[in-house]
Amino acid sequence: MLETARQWLAQDPDEATRAELADLITRAEAGDQAAASDLRDRFDSRLAFGTAGLRGALGAGSNRMNRVLVGQAAAGFAAYLRERAGDETPSVVVGYDGRRNSDVFARDSAEIFAGAGLRAILLPRLLPTPVLAFAVRHLGASAGVMVTASHNPPDDNGYKVYLGGADDGAQIVSPADAEIAAHIDRVAALADLGAIPRSDGFEIADESVVEAYVRATALVAPAPAGAAGLTWVYTAMHGVGHETLGRVLETAGYPAPIVVEAQIHPDGRFPTVAFPNPEEPGAMDLAFETARAARAELIVANDPDADRVAVAIPDAAADGGWRRLTGNEVGLLLGWRAARTASSGTLACSLVSSPGLQTIAEHYGLDFSATLTGFKWISRAPGLVFGFEEALGYLVNPGTVRDKDGISAAIAILGLVSEAREEGRTLGDLLDESAATFGHFASGQVSIRVDDVSVIGKIMAALREAPPASVGSVAVERVEDLLLATEGSPSGDILRMWLDDGSRVIVRPSGTEPKLKAYLDVRGESAEDAAGRLNAVDAGVRAILAGAQA
């Protein structure tokens, strides 16, 4: 382990991680068991490159995000693109957000891509992930890389990969991930980052790329007359969404929001939140406080790279007078919006998202597709007109961006709110109308966060070995193991349980965090009935997972 660490140290160009690693090596050599354990954690494994690219904690070592790992990934990806392109010269566009080292990792990647003979284009400054996804298609690039860890904890960073051409600017799926990973492993085996060719001959994209994204996104929902006088609050969650969203708002004709000042500028430390994710408890507290003071009608929150959006509305019954809508509630509203104007096409969502979208699709005579989690799958649904996943991800403009986009979704929500205002109604009224039309769907989630990811595998194995016969007092009608899915069906490490009363429970490991997640969906005769069913399913699932964990 010490020899592996020394080899890594010899090729590390970063002063901070070199100092960090050198100290650990010195202490381990002197017999410090804590340092030796830390080294094992850093070098016993390697951050795996998969369909989500790379994502992990910053630090020295093969199991951390750092300049060595990113350099190896860039060189491996360049080799993959050259192999894929044949005699043509591949092009790749690189973007980055405001997390620590995002700009450094992006520039390293651009230099390595250029050094490999690719046409490398670096976006002009830190920008939202949807702008990078847009740029891949807009520039006709062979591929794109976004340096971001999205809504992960503050000490994380990541490397998200898109493909152009036949993939149309979508995130990678199998087998591309394994092919790219094989190239990266060959580069890593040489253990010589300094030998990888680099060049400063990459291009800096001009503002026309951002301007094109702004124009296209403003067309999602140009402001109707009801937008006049709208008082609303916005938070960027210490991320990069505010500037781009502001330009789209101005172009589309919406009033500027009241911003959460403490969270509006990019800050990779994320000083006001433990987790920069609008779903997490406490993350939107400052937005609620700002909205109460302003007597606002609406809150909109982006996550740090602005590919997700959260919405909150006044609710006298809620603690503090404000309620954040669930991802499913927003998804069904936006799906309804899309369905009303579509003459044909597909509404799609991940299989863990609300089954209410299928009801909407059937109501309007549209196709429906349930996919594996992630927009790499949702965006590939044939004839897609709208897609969403319950984790606050929405794709309202598939003709422009083939990934979730929290900025275009925010504009669509503002359009819905403004149209309702013209009729003297609110977003809450639209939720009520949707429930009356399509049914009272309610969703919930139970999450178990672990320090040791092997615990998740043990729980899944226990559930497979002895599937529950009931959830609370409701019998389980059938259990589907998606590891055993037939060809043409979504497959993965997922268990789906159907209950006798029509409720549904899906259990799966998180794809981006050390969590096991259970997704709960019920449909009731009324809002009160649905809430009661959901509470009962929630209690039953918690008891089942506690037993499996024990």
Query: Residues near 377 by Cβ (< 8 Å), separated by ≥ 6?
Result: 173, 350, 371, 490
Q: Which residue has the tokens 């019920």?
A: 522
The terminus-to-terminus CA distance of the chain in angstroms comes to 33
Q: Which two tokens stand for residue 253?
A: 């004709």
- Backbone conformation region of residue 412, classed left if phi is above 0, alpha if psi is from -120 to 50, else beta: alpha
- Report the C-alpha gap between 501 and 515 in whole angstroms: 28
Question: Coil, strand or helix: which one is 444?
Answer: strand
**Residues marked as catalytic:** 150
Q: Which two tokens stand for residue 495?
A: 């268990």
Instruction: Give the Å distances, CA to CA, from 439 to 335, 358, 524.
Output: 14, 12, 7
In the 8-state DSSP scheme, what is residue 350?
E
Q: Which two tokens stand for residue 135?
A: 């740029």
- Report the C-alpha gap between 291 and 222 in whole angstroms: 24
User: Residues 505, 508, 511, 515: what is their CA dihedral angle, to the nearest 10 degrees?
Assistant: 100
In the 8-state DSSP scheme, what is residue 395?
E
Burial 37-66 (b: 16+ CB within 10 A, else e): ebbeebbeebbebebbbbbbbbbbbbbbbb
DSSP string, 405-419: -HHHHHHHHHHHHHH
- Report the C-alpha gap between 386 and 407 in whole angstroms: 15
Query: Residues near 319 by Cβ (< 8 Å), separated by ≥ 6?
Result: none
What is the number of other CB atoms lying within 10 angstroms of the CB of residue 445? 18
- Report the C-alpha gap between 537 and 379 in whole angstroms: 31
**Where would I find the H helices in 256-301?**
285-294
Q: Are strands 470-471 and 393-395 parallel, antiparallel or unpaired?
A: unpaired
Cα 444-448-453 angle, rounded to 5 deg: 140
- Report the C-alpha gap between 173 and 154 in whole angstroms: 27
Q: Which two tokens stand for residue 31?
A: 């017999």
The number of angstroms, rounded, from the C-alpha of 122 to the middle of its chain's C-alpha atoms is: 22
The residue ranges of DSSP E strands in 438-510, in sequence order, are 440-449, 470-471, 474-481, 495-499, 504-509
- Report the C-alpha gap between 344 and 356 in whole angstroms: 18
Q: Which two tokens stand for residue 321?
A: 């007078």
DSSP string, 489-507: S--SS-EEEEETTS-EEEE
Query: Residues near 2 by Cβ (< 8 Å), separated by ≥ 6?
Result: 25, 28, 29, 39
